[in-house]
Structure 1
């Protein structure tokens, strides 16, 4: 049995889940229209965005540990079955509630596929070659960022129905299960098995669920948070603090990164978290700008993202080369700073950005390319920095921790930014009333209707502008945190660390 074939099967299932994590960006408005959600009540679709991410982040660490107990192949097969079931529910959904339930199930199953595959790589490859193999698995996850929106666009273009994206998961999952069965070794890992941190997993899921629930406001006309928002968010924060305390004290940890220095580790995870929040804001809000302000259809709106999606992997390659030559701090800090500049440029788009240009180059394309290049520069350095910090035996869990941090940023970022955005839109349009045709002459009604539509467009423009300003601020914070990433000067110190050491300053 070829271990490369096993890695290929594992990488394939990681890519399958990653595609579904990002596919929603290109089909959001199609989903909104199909489910009869009014365009001025887009807050009702927020749970569909956060549901997948919540399941993904909450389940990833715990199910990865369960594979230590029951074996890699059984966990992969169970998760693929559950992923297919969630896909069927998503494709069949006739309302936001059922669609959200399907996405949560998909996310919970998909979230396990990355850590289990990384653990499989640790089982099959010796320590010396393991970082390269883990990088290949991580590349499959990163590829989903680029291909996810394009995959959704391609399916919708071919069959003109977003539901087929999720129906297609059923045969794809069946093929993946066959590949896993034929290539992935059965049985449990040979090394000594550790316990499963069920308490830590439940505390993490509870904390994230409460935060997302507290940030979601179905009626944002009066305030940013719903009436229950403050106590629920506070309860979520308490649960996450309890999770941290538990992880420090318990012997079996959900994300065991012992043997690392605390400050650079937290800085690395912080940069990953903030880059995730910025990434999701781009994937969702740029498409919304295209469809609500520029009146583009789903195809053209996704194509508008193309320059961002192309620049992202280009930046990732450049960031990897730069980090190899000069260490992780410079490309990570510069990348977040460049992304901040990109978001400021996007926030400053004129009333008709499609007609603006920098000489012969369309302004929207250039601004999105700058933003994508900046975020791309960060991808390799944060992955490399966290591997530099931990002993080789923990490279798998460290790589998964970077992804968990980014997905948490995507989850909480889109929840908070959308909550603020929807509140601002409703506050800006609170005094607007659509004109009634039977109360005025035809020409007067036409003028009043045009003024009303222009006021709504101005409110949308202000909402998006403020979201991109906030996102730029997050990137500035990320650039600051990047200055605390590990450097080459401590590589030997890190490699000498014992896996049993506790976190030190």
Structure 2
């Protein structure tokens, strides 16, 4: 039985890796895609829906699909998600404009993102509580391996074949994955009564988050931080999310049923997941932008720089699982968020001559990125196992989805809000700059003026990035405080109430 469990979780980890690759490829090919779709490089705000659309689809669908896996079993949900993921990949590859590209990415987000929480729930089904953190660490490593390879993979394929081939390749791979899932993943469903699905709660959550995202999407950041519709949309989003909370309190069937759980530790853990997600997306996007706008690197060069952070994240995901087994979840979470906060503070202090900065024999950029990756990576397994430990077995699917949804919600709101702020700050910092005109001055004077102008642009970019990284450091400190409320060391002998033998019956 142990070998079959390992095969099942191995196949689940493989499909998680497939989806994770596509979740992060856009961070390095964004400028390339923008150019192909005739979006000017100085108007990248127009293509941000490609990122936020994926994240919104992910967040909107995950609670419902996690609950569906509790009701109908893990295997059928994974199969349907892979099918829709292939369809979304085809739409993305065929897109001739930002709207269709965004639609394809929304489909990919809704389907591909579900593979992680459902696989994590499968780990909760098949392993007892004492060993579960290590298994979750392995699944989390598959996710983080995708995040580590995704930017490099995307930049490499785009350079060799064109960015559309990134998504064409997904189709045959998804078909092969469906075959493997059919034979390897248990076909049974978790023991207990079949839970009802809270469609209304899911719709309210998706609508509320969608309104917030639209509120901070500003196609004209030079004029203001928020668009003209920003304040009404923010108010509408707040009202809808308040209605969501009211519905969840009164509804008989809830999106996340907290009955029988310790609400304080649960909400604190979800808060840590949300804040770590916001920090992660800032790193994936802004480090790439630093590389391309301040260091003059291309997409592949930016991905190679980012890989120092991502590889450290991957290694620390496994270390966090080991630490949770030995010491419980609380202290790995606290330490991880504190280390990440220190890393972002160091990144915020990067000097103007960044390429030459070092700590003695160690290059400063790479060292700071490794430190930050180790910090964020430490929280991956503990945050998942802490949530599963405080919910009943028949809610593993929705609890796992809640962890991932919180993380992706942090990514969604983080990239939306900080992009709006960053684009606006850059325009404010450069409002008084005027490019020199060659026909109004001698050639040598024009050359000197152009050097001064470009240096001022670089200073404005550096200021914008520094402010964003300081904000991110503050978010990580807040996460460390929340982590203090997470439950402590797990019981040594308690086992999962679910039955692995039951789930291994086709």
Normalising by structure 2, report the TM-score.
0.90
Aligned to 2:414: 413
Aligned residues: 495
1:83 maps onto 2:109 in alignment: no
How far apart, in 1, do the equivalents of 2:86 and 2:169 lie? 9
Report matched runs for 1:61-140 at 5 Å.
Answer: 61-120=63-122, 136-140=138-142
How far apart, in 2, do the equivalents of 1:335 and 1:446 lie? 48
Question: Are 1:260 and 1:494, in contact at CA under 8 Å, matched by a contact in 2?
Answer: no
How far apart, in 2, do the equivalents of 1:369 and 1:116 lie? 30
How far apart, in 1, do the equivalents of 2:185 and 2:304 lie? 37
Distance 1:368 1:244, change over 3 A: same
Question: Are 2:129 and 2:494, in contact at CA under 8 Å, matched by a contact in 1?
Answer: no
Farther-moved stretch of structure 1 (90-99 vs 286-295): 90-99
Deviations 1:188-244 (A, max 9, x none): 667432211110110111011111111111111122111111111121122222222
Distance 1:360 1:135, change over 3 A: closer
Distance 1:101 1:190, change over 3 A: same
How far apart, in 1, do the equivalents of 2:69 and 2:328 lie? 34
Farther-moved stretch of structure 1 (243-252 vs 126-135): 126-135
Shift of 1:250: 1.7
1:294 maps onto 2:281 in alignment: no
Residue ranges of structure 1 left out of the alignment (5+ in a row): 498-505
Instruction: Give the SS at the match of 2:410.
Output: helix
Instruction: Give the SS at the match of 2:389.
Output: helix
Deviations 1:432-480 (A, max 9, x none): 2222222222222222222222221111111111111111111111111
How far apart, in 2, do the equivalents of 1:143 and 1:253 lie? 33
Shift of 1:482: 1.3
Report matched runs for 1:9-24 at 5 Å.
Answer: 9-24=11-26
Question: Are 2:137 and 2:381, in contact at CA under 8 Å, matched by a contact in 1?
Answer: no
How far apart, in 1, do the equivalents of 2:393 and 2:294 lie? 49
Instruction: Give the SS at the match of 1:389.
Output: coil
Question: Are 1:312 and 1:373, in contact at CA under 8 Å, matched by a contact in 2?
Answer: yes
Aligned to 1:329: 330
CA RMSD of aligned residues (A): 2.6
Report matched runs for 1:270-285 at 5 Å.
Answer: 270-285=271-286
Aligned to 1:481: 482
1:142 maps onto 2:156 in alignment: no
Aligned to 1:226: 227
How far apart, in 2, do the equivalents of 1:250 and 1:287 lie? 44
How far apart, in 1, do the equivalents of 2:495 and 2:126 lie? 21
Farther-moved stretch of structure 1 (97-106 vs 77-86): 77-86
Shift of 1:73: 3.9
Distance 1:344 1:206, change over 3 A: same
How far apart, in 2, do the equivalents of 1:452 and 1:271 lie? 42
Question: Are 1:83 and 1:106, in contact at CA under 8 Å, matched by a contact in 2?
Answer: yes
Distance 1:181 1:41, change over 3 A: same
Question: Are 1:389 and 1:491, in contact at CA under 8 Å, matched by a contact in 2?
Answer: no
How far apart, in 2, do the equivalents of 1:291 and 1:453 lie? 14
How far apart, in 1, do the equivalents of 2:469 and 2:350 lie? 11
Instruction: Give the SS at the match of 1:305.
Output: helix
1:164 maps onto 2:176 in alignment: no
Aligned to 2:61: 59
Question: Are 1:388 and 1:491, in contact at CA under 8 Å, matched by a contact in 2?
Answer: no
How far apart, in 1, do the equivalents of 2:148 and 2:417 lie? 24
Shift of 1:359: 0.5
Instruction: Give the SS at the match of 1:192.
Output: coil
Shift of 1:123: 6.0
Instruction: Give the SS at the match of 2:147.
Output: helix
Question: Are 2:14 and 2:142, in contact at CA under 8 Å, matched by a contact in 1?
Answer: yes
Distance 1:379 1:183, change over 3 A: closer
Farther-moved stretch of structure 1 (131-140 vs 242-251): 131-140
Farther-moved stretch of structure 1 (302-311 vs 286-295): 302-311
Shift of 1:78: 2.6
Aligned to 1:500: none
Report matched runs for 1:40-55 at 5 Å.
Answer: 40-55=42-57
RCO comparison, higher one (Cα < 8 Å, 6+): 2
How far apart, in 2, do the equivalents of 1:410 and 1:46 lie? 13
Instruction: Give the SS at the match of 2:114.
Output: helix
Shift of 1:12: 2.1
Distance 1:264 1:188, change over 3 A: closer
Residue ranges of structure 2 left out of the alignment (5+ in a row): 498-506
Q: Match for 1:152 among 151, 154, 171?
A: 154
How far apart, in 2, do the equivalents of 1:392 and 1:241 lie? 29
Shift of 1:63: 2.1
Aligned to 1:347: 348
Deviations 1:89-133 (A, max 9, x none): 211222222211111111111133234444555666678876665
Farther-moved stretch of structure 1 (290-299 vs 377-386): 377-386
Distance 1:454 1:207, change over 3 A: same
Question: Are 1:343 and 1:468, in contact at CA under 8 Å, matched by a contact in 2?
Answer: yes
Aligned to 1:502: none
Shift of 1:328: 2.4
How far apart, in 2, do the equivalents of 1:360 and 1:126 lie? 46
Shift of 1:411: 0.8
Aligned to 1:201: 202
Distance 1:360 1:380, change over 3 A: same
